[in-house]
Structure 1
Amino acid sequence: MSRKTGGCADIRDMLVVHQAFLAAYEKAPGLVLGVRDGDSDRAEVVADHLRLVGDFLHLHHKGEDDLLWPKIEMRAPASLDPVLRILEAQHVEIDSLTARASELADRWRTTARASTGEKLAEALTRLGRELARHLELEEKEVLSSVHLYVSAKEWHQLGDHAINGLPRAKLPIIFGMLAEIADPSVVKLMLESAPVVPRVIMPMLGPRAYARHARRVYGSRRA
């Protein structure tokens, strides 16, 4: 077992990401069921939102698989290995559920057929339930001690992985979604490794972009 060198990882930004995922998937089934049968315009708005959240979730978990779990496995006591195996298996299950929801959403977006929407809502409910179980275990068993094994620089690389994988035009929406629920000190933390220009403009651009997104999706400035 070896330990990290350099400053400690600060997990507060990931806790905000988790909170945002849970909130989004809690509301997702109701968004789908609230679309009138045949209203494909509204279905497209909701389906685009689901795709954005699903893509962000996939990138978040891919970053953990590639950049976080291997470091913890190498540096933490072997007693943590069984938990890591469970988390990895949960990632596979959640990825499968996300793919199923995405498939249904693609079918539903063009027809807004109520029967397909019901299946999509069921898939999203199951996905939200499995995600909640996964995040609870991760926060309790791994994130609580990750500062012992992962440096601040390595932690920022994990966040950068997800950001770099998203379409550039969607970054302000994602940042705004997180800033909506984050403490100002955590917002500052999220921008710590960003280049100067995004670090300056994102606190203004992100909330505005997310407010527009939330009005389209939820009917109000806030989710």
Structure 2
Amino acid sequence: MPDAVSSKPDVHDMVVVHRSFRRSCADLPDLVRGLRPGDTARAALVVDAVRFMLMGLEAHHVSEDEFLWPRLAARAAGQAEVIARMEEQHHRLEELVTQVTDALDELAADPRQPLREQVGAQLTELGSVLNAHMDEEENTVLPLAAECLSVAEWEELGEISLAKLEKKHLLRAFSALMAVATPEEQRTFLAKAPLPARLLWRLSGRRSHARWEARLYGA
């Protein structure tokens, strides 16, 4: 382990990111199955929610593939099997994401019953695989990252993930995290966020996300 790693990063922020994915994986299959034939306006809203989750998942996993796994492989002696398994799980998740993505345009245009069931089943399988992956990552990989990476490197991982998102989605992504965070976790995220992001969330992001969720969940 390099001498440069002098203090441990707070890796709990990834648990909150995972919590957002867990919530989406729990909710989206039922939202898809609940669509009605011909209701393309509702279908467009639900498909947008699915696309947003898949976009965030891709950014999250690509940053790990490009940055996290190589560093852990080089520094965590004896953990090659764990890292290889993480990479294999990412490949399987990529396959499942592709299956869902390929059906979304058709679902938005015509939310007929067989297609709703197909996409709902695909999302359920994706959620099952993803939850198992995140469980292992939180139990095994995050402790390794806390030991092997510097604070600056952990922050860089987050910056790489955010850079994978289009700027127009950044406030929505931040608001989605804040929606599943505890008050203490919210304070931590706000303390780390740039001043413009904090102001935007307080002025519009929090309320716009609440309105979007009310439409999505019918509250």
TM-score for the superposition, normalised by structure 2: 0.92
- Residue 204 of structure 1 and its aligned partner are, at CA, apart by 4.2
- Residue 69 of structure 1 and its aligned partner are, at CA, apart by 1.0
Asked if the contact 2:171–2:197 (Cα under 8 Å) also holds between the matched residues in 1, the reply is no
Partner Cα distance (2:185, 2:156) in 1: 16
Asked if the contact 1:156–1:193 (Cα under 8 Å) also holds between the matched residues in 2, the reply is no
Equivalent residues in 2 for 1:89-108, closer than 5 Å: 89-108=88-107
- Residue 176 of structure 1 and its aligned partner are, at CA, apart by 1.4
SS across alignment from 1:9: coil
CA deviations on 1:158-187 (whole Å, 9 max, x unpaired) are 112222222222222221111122134433
Are 2:114 and 1:115 equivalent residues in the alignment? yes
Partner Cα distance (2:165, 2:215) in 1: 20
Cα distance change, pair 6–30 in 1 and its aligned pair in 2 (3 A): same
Cα distance change, pair 72–189 in 1 and its aligned pair in 2 (3 A): farther
Equivalent residues in 2 for 1:18-167, closer than 5 Å: 18-77=18-77, 79-167=78-166
Cα distance change, pair 4–119 in 1 and its aligned pair in 2 (3 A): farther
Decide which moves more: 2-11 or 92-101: 2-11
Q: How many residues align?
A: 219
Q: Which runs of 4+ in 1 moved over 6 A?
A: none
Decide which moves more: 204-213 or 93-102: 204-213
Q: Which runs of 5+ in 1 are unaligned?
A: none
Partner Cα distance (2:160, 2:189) in 1: 13
Q: Which amino acid aligns with 1:130?
A: V
Partner Cα distance (2:212, 2:199) in 1: 21
Are 2:6 and 1:9 equivalent residues in the alignment? no
Decide which moves more: 210-219 or 63-72: 210-219
Asked if the contact 2:72–2:144 (Cα under 8 Å) also holds between the matched residues in 1, the reply is no
Are 2:194 and 1:211 equivalent residues in the alignment? no
Asked if the contact 1:4–1:149 (Cα under 8 Å) also holds between the matched residues in 2, the reply is no
- Residue 93 of structure 1 and its aligned partner are, at CA, apart by 0.5
CA RMSD in angstroms comes to: 1.7
Q: Which amino acid aligns with 1:32?
A: V
SS across alignment from 1:180: helix
Partner Cα distance (1:88, 1:41) in 2: 37
Cα distance change, pair 155–192 in 1 and its aligned pair in 2 (3 A): farther
Q: Percent identity?
A: 32
Q: Which runs of 5+ in 2 are unaligned?
A: none
Partner Cα distance (1:158, 1:192) in 2: 18
Partner Cα distance (1:49, 1:140) in 2: 28
Cα distance change, pair 3–186 in 1 and its aligned pair in 2 (3 A): farther
